[in-house]
Amino acid sequence: MRRSFPFALLVSLCCGLPAAAQEVTSTGDYLARMDADRDGRVSLSEYQDWLSYAFDAMDANRDGVLDASEQPASGRGARAPLTREQHRKTLAERFARQDRNHDGFLDARELASPPQ
């Protein structure tokens, strides 16, 4: 049985997804796509790299900062600029919440669990 992976909502960020991400529908798919070194687990850098494609797609001028015009409208007014470093820090915090056994990696079970 294939089930939608709830993390997909976090990944989409209101912009078009690359073809590879659109095909991801299960935890195993996410693990296989994120796991760049194919060791069966996802490191922090693999997690950040995979989830940075939306940032990269929105960063039209490629300056490493999403200014208000590059961010999706939120209905709450203009958004503050977001740097690549801030984005990666947020992802690191999310990763730490997902890493329930605190081993520095995410396995399929941890990827399937909602962030704490």
pLDDT digits (tens, 9 = 90+) for 53-96: 889 999 999 999 999 999 988 777 678 999 999 999 999 999 99
Q: What is the CATH classification number for the domain harbouring 14?
A: 1.10.238.10
Q: Is residue 53 part of a domain?
A: yes
Contacts of 27 (CB under 8 A, 6+ apart): 5, 108, 111, 112
In a domain, 46, yes or no: yes
> Is residue 102, in this structure, part of any structural domain at all?
yes
Write the pLDDT tens digit of every residue in 12-30: 433 344 444 445 567 778 7
Q: What is the span of the domain harbouring residue 20?
A: 8-112
Q: Which two tokens stand for residue 71?
A: 């961010």
Tell me how many domains the chain contains: 1
Whether 62 is covered by a domain: the verdict is yes
In a domain, 2, yes or no: no
CA angle 51, 14, 61 (to 5 degrees): 70
CA distances to 7, 9, 11, 55 from 22, rounded to whole Å, are 13, 12, 10, 16
